[in-house]
Amino acid sequence: MLPSVLFVTSEMAPWVKTGGLGDVAAALPASLHQAGVDIRVLIPCYPALRAAFPDACTVAELPSLAPALPPARLLAARSDGLPLLLLDCPALFERPGNPYLDASGADHPDNALRFGLLSRVAARLGQRGSPLGWQPDVVHVNDWQSGLAPAYLHYEGGAPSVITVHNIAFQGCFGHDTLAALGLPEQAWRFDGVEYYKQLSFLKAGLQFATRLSTVSPTYAREIQTEHFGYGLAPLLRYRAAALRGILNGIDTTSWNPATDAALHQPYSIETLAGKALNKSALQAQMGLPIVGDRPLFGVISRLTHQKGLDLLLAVADGLPALPAQLVVLGSGDKDMEAGFLALAQRHPTHVAVRIGFDETLAHRIEAGADSFLMPSRFEPCGLNQMYSLRYGTPPVVRATGGLADTVVDCDSPLADDHGNGFWIDGDSPHALWSSLERVSHIWRDSSRWAQIQRNAMRQDFSWKQPAKEYIALYREATTSAELQ
Ligand code: ADP
Ligand code: GLC
């Protein structure tokens, strides 16, 4: 018998997505559902979900579950057969902005309550007398937003739990008053409870109390146990190392398939790689760049934040016209970095084009039209764009960290042995990034070598089949063995 699972998430593509968690929360449950797992996805009923599922019907009324938590309801819906549970609480979720930020870009002031409710309800469904009449064998939570659920399950009893860390830099820290407001016992205020540097941390609570821990690549699972990458949580992760696994994310190979991608000017495959050139000229035209074939075109699609290391690119990008190379950037985030890229494009209008915003269609066209994709991330738990790039024959240039190190093989490495599919940046300085750009543009000019790198990249399998098996094994472990330290 496969264990039944409640999968808890704060975002889910295509309706609500700020980054890779949204993609994973759509594709992993769908893949587990296909594999026969009785899985239901619990997510706040944001306006986009209410609009997408107008016929969702009430399946449970939830009374107030803690002093500061309002009553709520659960609505049931299905997405391609996958059961969704929409946590309906208009006072907390019906508002403009994204799941975490208001329209002006500041944190919603009541995030502790919003995600406290999500965690509290998740735990309630994993306990005897679940208001659904269905009780999962495992409660699987993701990141800090549902990280408090394992703490409730620990103090009150209930199903075993799994927490997956998608990004340890976001920890969900709030004041001491949150403890009572969310109905946790005072005894939880301990270093081996939910207390973390005199605050309540949702993520720490999850890492402390979940039966099993996972993160989204084997390398990141090792990295977060070090001071540099652990953002203060390394000692706890080392303590719980026996319960921690690294499972590499998959990608949605249906929507990210260059042979059938409706967003592309010209679909192509490993057999018809020449078709990729038409996507390059279409992208140049769309972005207002000269349509030239004599220089490489680099692509970037990213949140513009310190994590992604794009300040390193800004520091060297004035050299691109002389290389020569073109650059297309799609992203949004830090206002300074947005302004920096817009100014760069203004200085070099024939070599650099920048779009600030979130644009799914353009993202597909950049993956197809660029020659090479840039991801100089300082840390990258998994990263999805490098896998999209590999699948689209657009060799990525990456820092060898987290999932980037697990998916990209440097084509000049002696160990690559004809499997090279991209480029590692040798260091974390602007100079190191610049050397890589020079190396890429040199190798790009050797068209048969380049085509070989593209073929190596396109042959890889990044479907969810294998990761789904690993998650099932993890659920089994969680249900059959005791809490490991
Ligand atoms: P992270 O979750 O850290 O942002 P990932 O590489 O895991 O990084 O996932 C990012 C996801 O968000 C990818 O699906 C990527 O295509 C998408 N994305 C990021 N920025 C944009 C943007 N400006 N427009 C469209 N898609 C974007
Ligand atoms: C996070 C990470 C990213 C990862 C994604 C999905 O947002 O920053 O590296 O791919 O989660 O797991």
pTM over 0.85: yes
Long-range contacts of 225-233 (CB under 8 A, 24+ apart): 229/168, 229/379, 230/168, 231/168, 231/169, 231/171, 232/171, 232/196, 232/197, 233/168, 233/171, 233/203, 233/204, 233/207
- 152-184 residue pLDDT tens: 999 999 999 999 999 999 999 999 999 999 999
pLDDT above 90 (res 64): yes
The CA distances from residue 55 to 33, 77, 183, 325, 362, in Å, are: 22, 8, 33, 51, 32
Distance 299 CA to ligand 1 centre (A): 13
Residue-level pLDDT at 330: 98
CB-side neighbour CA atoms (13 Å) of 78 = 4
Residue-level pLDDT at 481: 76
Distance 402 CA to ligand 2 centre (A): 10
If you search the block for the tokens 């992993």, which residue do you land on? 28
Token pair for 312: 């390193």
Atom of ligand 2 nearest to the CA of 216: 12
Longest dimension (CA), the chain: 68
Of the pLDDT bands very low, low, confident and very high (cuts 50, 70, 90), residue 318 is very high
Q: In whole angstroms, give the CA distance from residue 133 to residue 129.
A: 7
Residue-level pLDDT at 105: 87
Residue-level pLDDT at 418: 79
Distance 266 CA to ligand 2 centre (A): 29
- 181-197 residue pLDDT tens: 999 999 999 999 999 99
- Kindly state the DSSP code that residue 400 receives in the 8-state scheme: S
Of the pLDDT bands very low, low, confident and very high (cuts 50, 70, 90), residue 483 is low
Ligand nearest to the Cα of 21, by number? 2
- 466-477 residue pLDDT tens: 999 999 999 999
Mean pLDDT of 303-319: 97
Q: Answer with the residue of higher pLDDT: 414 or 311.
A: 311
The three-state secondary structure class of 68 is coil
How many C-beta neighbours within 10 Å does residue 219 have? 22
Residue-level pLDDT at 188: 98
Contact between residue 247 and residue 467 where contact means Cβ atoms under 8 Å apart? yes
Distance 28 CA to ligand 1 centre (A): 17
Atom of ligand 2 nearest to the CA of 19: 7
Give yes or no for a cis peptide into 14 (omega within 30° of 0).
Answer: yes
pLDDT above 60 (res 484): no
Atom of ligand 2 nearest to the CA of 249: 12
Token pair for 451: 């085509």
Residue-level pLDDT at 319: 98
Q: In whole angstroms, give the CA distance from residue 319 to residue 435.
A: 11
- 198-251 residue pLDDT tens: 999 999 999 999 999 999 999 999 999 999 999 999 999 999 999 999 999 999
- Kindly state the DSSP code that residue 308 receives in the 8-state scheme: G
Question: Pairing state of beta strands 72-79 and 57-62?
Answer: antiparallel
Token pair for 344: 């760069």
CB of 201 closer than 6 angstroms to any ligand 2 atom:
no
Phi-psi group of 88: left, alpha or beta (phi > 0 → left; psi -120 to 50 → alpha; rest → beta): beta
Ligand nearest to the Cα of 217, by number? 2
Among 100, 166, 399, which residue has the most ligand 2 atoms within 8 Å of its CB, making it the best to mutate? 166
- 350-404 residue pLDDT tens: 999 999 999 999 999 999 999 999 999 999 999 999 999 999 999 999 999 999 9
pLDDT above 60 (res 485): no
Nearby residues of 420 by Cβ (< 8 Å), 6 or more positions away: 409, 410, 411, 412, 413, 453, 456
Token pair for 122: 């998740």
